[in-house]
């Protein structure tokens, strides 16, 4: 038995340090590691389920070739690599290297992920994606406002007197934040949760604000209105450190709580109460979730929320601040997120980064000169997780050849011609950062790969040899096959930082060089003005949005948003075209670097009435039981979460003749799925909820319903803006298909102007 | 007597527990229970998020109760308390796999291990406790909500079964879960009562241990046969019914053999009588054993031979004394049979169920003998209990089941009038009809049995809270 230190590389806030017990070359136990102050109590259930995940009988242990009938048969590495190399040569010769799509997602983190793009550059080039499914709108909103994505150390939350979880449910998605929440509450702190659902986190709050999805910006602007009106703005702080606070006072002058009540559905007295809590408690921390910034208006929404902290001086102090993303450990990145998500302003002719992640299917289909012929997918499951699944499936179907590197037969792997077995996190060392705590960690190799599994670095080397790529060029970017070579490669990356070495990292996590426990405690903000920018010229220049935080009606506005009132003094008609739906615009939008939400053309202004056929807003939150589409195929996780369930409120259920436990059909103009439903008395009327990450094989891959469109800034995916209708399956006699209308643009309205 | 380690146990901070289930996975791995199986479970109170009612979780396993009902009730004396840690442990080498501990535990702690065919349950990781380590579930808790140590804090929390077992668990942070957040969304007020009636939400993270006819066919057959055997001996002892040794012994042996089918470890069946002093199940087995011994002796006694066919009137001396003693022992055994089901039978009235063996045995004797008055008394009692139990809605299977059941009780009497005298075809028809009705009722009895669990308790309390909070009902 040996105990080793490693770290979980999933796309998750917590990025836990773990002690693992290895017995006879197998993972026996996953244990807490006290060296990480943020995750000292130990990993969540997913971390504990690694004992099954690495040894699961469903794991892919050798290359697979798909047959005509969709089944897979085992093939040797030689067969697999020979066929892949032959296909790549042929495609490159015929269409050029950019006819190969290299698609990698967030399945696992690590510096070695860089070998993928490096290989494809040596291959001669490739096509790639820009943007990201996760968080760009919020990152960009934060960058524009504060200059950088950094926040206080996780444990500092214990010092907050008021914690506002704005669209975040850490009890499920960041459980290691909860001990600090409990500490703050034990010390007399207060807590508000803003979420259409009554989440696990909300049970600890004194107030649960349940706005209509997509209206959080209006809520924040009305709260700012109250702060100004009641003299709760920290004038001295604002004067010294905030650019544009006076202009913002004008902007929100007409955004009264009564206006917000009509827009958000939150009674005015609660808007007042929320604002007064933020304005009178010191210090205040707002933790903003990622789900809220997957809307077409979400960059501006997050700027409006962040403004509340700027106005009350809750930045740069213990217990105060904006917890969205802490990229202080991203010390290895040449270009830091979110800038790394943007397509290059000047294409280099080798890598064609022209496909929006948010519109993956449509953009793939529209790509020409050369068109896409081959796809290589690693660390991702785009056929379940990217918006508008039907178009993604179609785009992959149209390709000549698909290779997927995977641990399990996911929806994407099932569509592959060749599936190559992927390593698990325990089978190759790598160095990882985090986005919540500021530690650099070594994800140590503690097991040998089982079966015929090879790490990607080795797969690329073998492929490079078959493609006769120059050996010295390969050696320069891809580590050699042995553990020693991998470690040497990692050491070279650590070399610029005297604080970091594999030696030290082997013992446990190390705080990132130069990280600050209290972000912006020097009140120096790396913005153009050096101040917190409520007024951002860059926002207007880069994204075409108002330079001040603002709220606009989301494209798929929910329920009874009173558009006529909201638009009372709209600055322009701002009707937008249904670019995404008509499938024309993506290519030039991409090259111009502007998001589609911002590109308001003169196209048809579709009235709100379009969405009357789909009156429910589908929330697709994450659950404690998965990281996106990972983990739920394990028996340990299935025991907690046996199958997909749609949550629906009692009034919405009754209106549709739906009883608890019924099977229901969830549909819109884009797709449909069938699931069991559960009456949930805590969910806001007009909203239904189905966790994302189920596979098509579970019957509930939610993105068959979502739209491929970008957020207003950052090239994020606005796929949480998703309207549907729900019917009991038994009542299928109702002519459902007939009511389905295409979902595309709708006229935009803004917050009222004084 | 002080209980070892009585001052130590699990501490659950219900204000900190998020129901994340890490504890259940850690338990699974530590104790090699197989992926997806755990001795620990999460019970969620108010999963459906009823307005005005808080929602929280209980992470529960064995509470190693000071007055643990499983210890005295184990018929094989396989459950004992570890003298050092106070942990209540099941000895897998002694356990016969009868599952009775799961029936008597109010906390749904014992689990049947399919591979080993014995019961298992949380050991409080006593192998770790003795090394000074906390239980695996405690070590794994990401929010530090679950601890193990000196008992302090509240003994009760909403939804946790209140029993006299003195569970060694305490709840912290109870005041954190006494009120839900104030929500800005209240459109459902006054309307939700009607909707909730349908909502039977799973409150536990694992399925309830159910008792059903399908899972208890051996017990169904055994208890039915026991009542019939006792009835036969009673009819022979006080009436004129013959007791043929061959068929009697064959039926008795069959009943015993069938009863062992219910055990995980059939070859250890003999251990079931090792705890007569305390275990209901042991008493049942011992009582039935004594009855069979006496009845078999009586049937084979030399004085009885040759005259058995004439019934009790022809019996003499020791043989008859043995027969009467067997009948008495049989009634005691049937009483013990019924007591076994006390912890899991929720539908008795005045302590009686229409399918109770103590009623079926004498009624069967009356049918065999054709004693109208006795039969009328027992069958009327059974019919009243049956009808009262089901009420106007009738049995779940359909109204015709109820008609069939009552007819099977009522019709044997007219059949005797049609053809008085034992041995006639009509008499056999009466016996067959009665037996069919009893098998039907006993089958329903098993379908009604229910192991009460913390998840049930959470649901029950929530149902009460619904009623109180309902503005329409006032």
Q: Is some CB atom of chain A closer than 8 A to the CB atom of B142?
A: yes
Q: Chain A: residue nearest B147 by CA?
A: A41
pLDDT at B233 over 70: yes
Q: Are residues B129 and B193 in the same domain?
A: yes
Interchain contact, B48 vs A266, CB within 8 Å: no
Interchain contact, B15 vs A204, CB within 8 Å: yes
> Is B26 a domain residue?
yes
Chain B positions touching A43 (Cβ under 8 A) are: 22, 142
The predicted model gives B228-253 an average pLDDT of 91
The predicted model gives B314-328 an average pLDDT of 84
Q: Is some CB atom of chain A closer than 8 A to the CB atom of B26?
A: yes
User: For A593-642, what is each residue's pLDDT tens digit?
Assistant: 333 333 332 222 333 445 678 899 999 999 999 999 999 999 999 999 99
> Is B68 a domain residue?
yes
Q: Chain B: residue nearest A174 by CA?
A: B142
**Cβ neighbours, 10 Å, residue A75:** 17
**Nearest-10 crossing angle of helices B425-448, B217-238:** 140
Q: Is some CB atom of chain A closer than 8 A to the CB atom of B185?
A: yes
**Cβ neighbours, 10 Å, residue B399:** 12
Report the gap between the CA of A227 and the closest CA in chain B (Å).
Answer: 20
pLDDT confidence bin for B414, thresholds 50/70/90 = confident
* Rounded Cα gap, residues A233 and A29, in angstroms: 52
What is the β-pairing status of strands A418-421 and A430-432? unpaired
> Is B1 a domain residue?
no
Q: Which two tokens stand for residue B120?
A: 């298992």
Q: Are residues B180 and B224 in the same domain?
A: no
User: For B65-114, what is each residue's pLDDT tens digit?
Assistant: 999 999 999 999 999 999 989 999 999 999 999 999 999 999 999 999 99
Among A570, A706, A647, CA closest to A296? A706
Q: What is the pTM of this model?
A: 0.91
pLDDT at A416 over 50: yes
Q: Is some CB atom of chain A closer than 8 A to the CB atom of B180?
A: yes
SS3 (DSSP) at A7: strand
pLDDT confidence bin for A751, thresholds 50/70/90 = low
Give 3-state DSSP helix, strand, coil % of chain A, rounded to 5. 35, 15, 50
Chain B positions touching A266 (Cβ under 8 A) are: 184
> Is B467 a domain residue?
no
Q: Which of A29, A203, A624 sits opposite B54 (nearest CB)?
A: A203
Q: Phi then psi for B45, rounded to 5 degrees?
A: -95, 125
> Is B474 a domain residue?
no
Report the gap between the CA of B9 and the closest CA in chain A (Å).
Answer: 20
User: For B455-464, what is each residue's pLDDT tens digit?
Assistant: 888 888 888 7
pLDDT confidence bin for A22, thresholds 50/70/90 = very high
* Residue numbers of B between 198 and 217 with CB closer than 8 Å to A: 198-201, 205-206
* Rounded Cα gap, residues B465 and A126, in angstroms: 62
Q: Is some CB atom of chain B closer than 8 A to the CB atom of A32?
A: yes
* Rounded Cα gap, residues A397 and B449, in angstroms: 55
Q: Is some CB atom of chain A closer than 8 A to the CB atom of B188?
A: yes
CATH number at residue B327: 1.20.1630
pLDDT at B197 over 90: no
Which residues 6+ apart lie within 8 Å of A442 measured at CB? Answer: A5, A6, A7, A429, A430, A431, A490, A502, A505, A506
* Rounded Cα gap, residues A124 and A726, in angstroms: 49
* Rounded Cα gap, residues B322 and B387, in angstroms: 38
Interchain contact, A640 vs B21, CB within 8 Å: yes
Q: Are residues B250 and B388 in the same domain?
A: yes
Report the gap between the CA of B405 and the closest CA in chain A (Å).
Answer: 33
Q: Chain B: residue nearest A173 by CA?
A: B20
Residues A645, A674 contacting (CB under 8 angstroms): no
> Is B440 a domain residue?
yes
Backbone conformation region of residue A80, classed left if phi is above 0, alpha if psi is from -120 to 50, else beta: alpha
pLDDT at A649 over 60: yes
Q: Are residues B272 and B410 in the same domain?
A: yes
The predicted model gives A310-332 an average pLDDT of 97
Chain B positions touching A45 (Cβ under 8 A) are: 20-22, 24-25
Chain A positions touching B59 (Cβ under 8 A) are: none
Q: Is some CB atom of chain B closer than 8 A to the CB atom of A222?
A: no
Interchain contact, B20 vs A624, CB within 8 Å: yes
Q: Give residue B340's Cα distance to chain centre.
A: 7
Q: Chain B: residue nearest A265 by CA?
A: B185
pLDDT at A572 over 90: no
Q: Is some CB atom of chain A closer than 8 A to the CB atom of B380?
A: no
User: For A371-387, what is each residue's pLDDT tens digit?
Assistant: 999 999 999 999 999 99
pLDDT at B6: 74
pLDDT at B244 over 90: no
The predicted model gives B230-258 an average pLDDT of 91
Q: Which domain holds residue B358?
A: 217-344+352-448
**Mean pLDDT over the full length of chain B:** 87
**Nearest-10 crossing angle of helices A216-229, A268-280:** 60
Q: Which two tokens stand for residue A93?
A: 């010769």
Count the alpha carbons within 13 Å of B360 in the hemisphere toward its beta carbon: 30
pLDDT confidence bin for B302, thresholds 50/70/90 = confident
Interchain contact, B184 vs A207, CB within 8 Å: yes
* Residue numbers of A between 252 and 311 with CB closer than 8 Å to B: 265-267, 270
Chain A positions touching B198 (Cβ under 8 A) are: 659-661, 679
E strand spans, B41-113 = 41-45, 56-60, 79-81, 88-90, 111-113
Which residues 6+ apart lie within 8 Å of A609 measured at CB? Answer: none
* Structural domain total, chain B: 2
Q: Are residues B231 and B166 in the same domain?
A: no
Q: Are residues B241 and B283 in the same domain?
A: yes
E strand spans, A488-552 = 510-511, 532-533
Give the range with max mean pLDDT: A552-566, B100-114, B291-305: B100-114
CATH number at residue B180: 3.30.70.20
pLDDT at B304: 60
pLDDT at B467: 59
Q: Which two tokens stand for residue A615?
A: 């009156």
pLDDT at A739 over 50: no
Interchain contact, B20 vs A171, CB within 8 Å: yes
User: For B323-367, what is each residue's pLDDT tens digit?
Assistant: 999 999 999 999 999 999 999 988 787 889 999 999 999 999 999
pLDDT at A563: 42
Q: Are residues B243 and B378 in the same domain?
A: yes
Q: Are residues B299 and B444 in the same domain?
A: yes
Q: Are residues B282 and B409 in the same domain?
A: yes
Kindly tell me the sign of the dihedral angle through the C-alpha atoms of B463, B468, B470, B474.
Answer: positive
* Rounded Cα gap, residues A102 and A87, in angstroms: 15
Angstrom CA distances, B452 to A546, B106, B223, stand at 61, 6, 22
What is the β-pairing status of strands A374-378 and A100-104? parallel
**Cβ neighbours, 10 Å, residue B33:** 18
Write out the H or E segment, with its range, that includes residue A104: strand A100-104
* Residue numbers of A between 136 and 195 with CB closer than 8 Å to B: 171-172, 175-176, 178-179, 182, 185, 193
Stretch among A57-71, A482-496, A575-589 having the lowest mean pLDDT: A575-589
Interchain contact, B196 vs A193, CB within 8 Å: no
* Rounded Cα gap, residues B43 and B457, in angstroms: 10
pLDDT at B462: 84
How many beta-carbon pairs below 8 A join chains A and B?
163
Residues A157, A184 contacting (CB under 8 angstroms): yes
Q: Is some CB atom of chain A closer than 8 A to the CB atom of B134?
A: no
What is the β-pairing status of strands A374-378 and A401-406? parallel
**Mean pLDDT over the full length of chain A:** 90
Q: Are residues B147 and B251 in the same domain?
A: no
pLDDT confidence bin for B10, thresholds 50/70/90 = very high
Q: Are residues B155 and B247 in the same domain?
A: no
Q: Which two tokens stand for residue B85?
A: 């840690």
pLDDT at B204 over 60: no
Report the gap between the CA of A49 and the closest CA in chain B (Å).
Answer: 7
pLDDT confidence bin for A86, thresholds 50/70/90 = very high
pLDDT at A578 over 60: no
Backbone conformation region of residue A214, classed left if phi is above 0, alpha if psi is from -120 to 50, else beta: left
Q: Are residues B378 and B421 in the same domain?
A: yes
pLDDT at B178 over 90: no
Angstrom CA distances, A173 to A176, A214, A322, A431, B374, stand at 9, 21, 17, 23, 68
> Is B320 a domain residue?
yes
pLDDT at A396: 98
Q: Is some CB atom of chain A closer than 8 A to the CB atom of B31?
A: no
Q: Phi then psi for A406, rounded to 5 degrees?
A: -150, 160
> Is B230 a domain residue?
yes
Residues A140, A168 contacting (CB under 8 angstroms): no
ipTM field = 0.91
Q: Chain B: residue nearest A685 by CA?
A: B187
């Amino acid at each position: 038995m040996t105990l080793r230190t490693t770290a979980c590389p999933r796309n998750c806030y917590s990025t836990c340090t773990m002690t693992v017990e290895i017995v006879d070359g197998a993972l026996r136990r996953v244990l807490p590691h006290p060296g990480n102050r943020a995750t000292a109590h130990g990993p969540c259930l997913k971390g504990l389920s690694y004992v099954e995940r690495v040894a699961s009988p469903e794991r892919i242990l050798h290359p697979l070739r798909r047959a005509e009938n969709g089944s897979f048969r085992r093939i040797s590495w030689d067969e697999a690599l020979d066929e892949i190399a032959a296909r790549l040569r042929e495609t490159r010769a015929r269409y050029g290297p950019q006819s190969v799509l290299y698609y990698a997602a967030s399945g696992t983190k690590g510096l070695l992920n860089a070998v993928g793009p490096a290989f494809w550059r040596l291959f001669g080039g490739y096509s790639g994606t820009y943007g990201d499914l996760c968080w760009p709108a919020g990152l960009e909103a934060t960058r524009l406002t504060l200059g950088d994505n950094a926040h206080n150390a996780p444990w500092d939350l214990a010092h907050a007197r008021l914690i506002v979880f704005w669209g975040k449910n850490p009890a499920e998605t960041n459980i290691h934040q909860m001990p600090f929440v409990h500490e703050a509450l034990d010390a007399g702190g207060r807590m508000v949760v803003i979420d259409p659902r009554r989440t696990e986190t909300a049970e600890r709050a004194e107030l649960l604000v349940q706005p209509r999805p997509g209206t959080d910006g209006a809520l924040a602007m009305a709260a700012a209105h109250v702060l100004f009106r009641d003299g709760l703005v920290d004038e001295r702080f604002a004067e010294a450190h905030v650019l544009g606070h006076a202009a913002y006072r004008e902007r929100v002058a007409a955004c009264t709580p009564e206006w917000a009540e009509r827009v958000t559905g939150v009674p005015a007295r609660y808007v007042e109460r929320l604002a007064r809590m933020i304005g009178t408690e010191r210090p205040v921390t707002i933790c903003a979730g990622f789900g809220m910034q997957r809307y077409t208006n979400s960059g501006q929404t997050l700027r409006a929320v962040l403004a509340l902290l700027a106005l009350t001086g809750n930045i740069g102090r213990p217990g105060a601040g904006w917890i969205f993303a802490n990229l202080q450990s991203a010390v290895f990145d040449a270009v830091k997120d979110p800038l790394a998500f943007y397509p290059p302003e000047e294409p280099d002719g080798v890598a064609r980064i022209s496909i929006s992640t948010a519109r993956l299917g449509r953009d793939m289909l529209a790509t020409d000169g050369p068109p896409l012929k081959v796809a290589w997918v690693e660390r991702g499951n785009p056929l379940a997780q990217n918006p508008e699944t039907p178009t993604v499936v179609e785009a992959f179907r149209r390709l000549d050849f698909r290779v997927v590197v995977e641990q399990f037969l996911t929806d994407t792997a099932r569509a592959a011609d060749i599936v190559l077995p992927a390593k698990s996190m325990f089978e190759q060392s790598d160095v990882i950062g985090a986005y919540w705590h500021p530690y650099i960690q070594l994800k140590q190799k503690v097991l040998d790969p089982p079966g015929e599994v090879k790490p990607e670095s080795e797969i690329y080397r073998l492929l490079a040899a078959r493609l006769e790529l120059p050996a010295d060029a390969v050696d320069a970017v891809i580590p050699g096959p042995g553990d020693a070579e991998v470690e040497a490669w990692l050491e070279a990356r650590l070399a610029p930082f005297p604080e970091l070495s594999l030696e030290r990292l082997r013992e446990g996590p190390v705080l990132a060089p130069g990280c600050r426990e209290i972000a912006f405690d020097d009140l120096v903000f790396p913005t153009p003005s050096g101040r917190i920018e409520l007024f951002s010229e860059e926002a207007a220049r880069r994204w075409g949005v108002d330079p001040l935080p603002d709220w606009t009606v989301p494209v798929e506005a929910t329920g009874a948003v009173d558009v006529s009132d909201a638009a009372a003094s709209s600055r322009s008609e701002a009707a937008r075209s249904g670019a995404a739906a008509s499938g024309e615009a993506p290519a030039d939008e991409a090259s111009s670097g502007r998001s589609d939400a911002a590109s308001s053309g003169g196209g048809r202004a579709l009235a709100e009435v379009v969405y009357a056929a789909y009156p429910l807003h589908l929330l697709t939150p994450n659950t404690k039981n998965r990281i996106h589409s990972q983990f739920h195929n394990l028996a340990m996780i299935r025991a907690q979460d046996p199958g997909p369930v749609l949550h629906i409120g009692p009034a919405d259920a009754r209106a549709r003749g739906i009883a608890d436990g019924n099977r229901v059909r969830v549909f819109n103009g884009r797709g449909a799925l069938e699931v069991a439903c559960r009456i949930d008395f805590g969910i806001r009327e007009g909203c239904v909820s189905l966790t994302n990450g189920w596979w098509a094989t579970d019957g509930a891959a939610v993105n068959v319903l979502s739209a491929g469109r970008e957020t207003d800034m950052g090239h994020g995916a606005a796929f949480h803006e998703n309207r549907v209708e729900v019917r009991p399956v038994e009542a299928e006699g109702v002519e459902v298909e007939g009511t389905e209308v295409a979902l595309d643009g709708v006229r935009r309205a803004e917050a009222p102007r004084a | 007597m002080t209980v070892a380690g009585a001052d130590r146990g699990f501490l659950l901070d219900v204000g900190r527990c998020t129901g994340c289930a890490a504890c259940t996975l850690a338990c699974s791995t530590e104790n090699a229970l197989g992926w997806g199986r755990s001795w620990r479970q999460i019970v969620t109170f108010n999963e459906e998020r009823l307005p005005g009612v808080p929602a929280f979780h209980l992470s529960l396993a064995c509470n190693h109760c000071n007055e643990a009902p499983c210890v005295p009730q184990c018929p094989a004396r396989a459950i004992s308390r570890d003298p050092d840690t106070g942990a209540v442990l099941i000895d897998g080498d002694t356990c016969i796999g009868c599952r009775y501990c799961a029936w008597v535990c109010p906390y749904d702690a014992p689990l049947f291990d399919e591979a080993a065919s014995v019961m298992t349950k949380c050991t409080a990781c006593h192998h770790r406790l003795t090394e000074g380590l906390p239980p695996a579930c405690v070590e794994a808790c990401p929010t530090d909500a679950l601890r193990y140590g000196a008992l302090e804090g509240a003994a009760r929390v909403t939804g946790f079964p209140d029993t006299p077992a003195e569970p060694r668990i305490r709840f912290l942070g109870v005041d954190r879960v006494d009120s839900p957040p104030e929500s800005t969304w209240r459109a459902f007020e006054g309307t939700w009562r009607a909707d909730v009636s349908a909502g039977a939400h799973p409150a536990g993270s694992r399925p309830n241990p159910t008792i059903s006819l399908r899972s208890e066919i051996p017990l169904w057959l055994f208890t039915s046969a026991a009542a019939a055997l006792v009835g036969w001996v009673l009819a022979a002892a006080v009436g004129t019914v013959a007791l043929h040794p061959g068929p009697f012994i064959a039926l008795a042996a069959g009943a015993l053999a069938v009863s062992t089918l219910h055990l995980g470890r059939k070859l250890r069946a003999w251990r079931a009588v090792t705890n007569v002093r305390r275990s209901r199940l042991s008493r049942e087995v011992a009582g039935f054993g004594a009855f069979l011994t006496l009845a078999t002796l009586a049937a084979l006694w030399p004085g009885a031979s040759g005259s058995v066919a004439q019934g009790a009137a022809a019996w003499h001396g020791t043989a008859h004394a043995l027969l009467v003693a067997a009948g008495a022992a049989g009634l005691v055994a049937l009483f013990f049979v019924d007591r076994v089901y006390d912890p899991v039978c929720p539908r008795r009235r005045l302590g009686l169920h229409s399918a109770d063996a103590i009623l079926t045995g004498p009624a069967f004797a009356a049918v065999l003998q054709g004693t109208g008055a006795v039969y009328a008394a027992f069958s009327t009692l059974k019919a009243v209990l049956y009808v009262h139990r089901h009420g106007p809605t009738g049995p779940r299977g359909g109204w015709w089941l109820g008609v069939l059941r009552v007819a099977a009780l009522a019709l044997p009497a007219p059949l005797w009038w049609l053809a008085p005298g034992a041995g006639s075809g009509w008499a056999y028809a009466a016996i067959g009809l009665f037996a069919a009705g009893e098998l039907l009722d006993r089958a329903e009895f098993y379908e009604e049995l229910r192991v009460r669990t913390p998840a049930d308790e959470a649901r029950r309390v929530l149902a009460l809270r619904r009623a109180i909070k309902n503005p329409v009902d006032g």
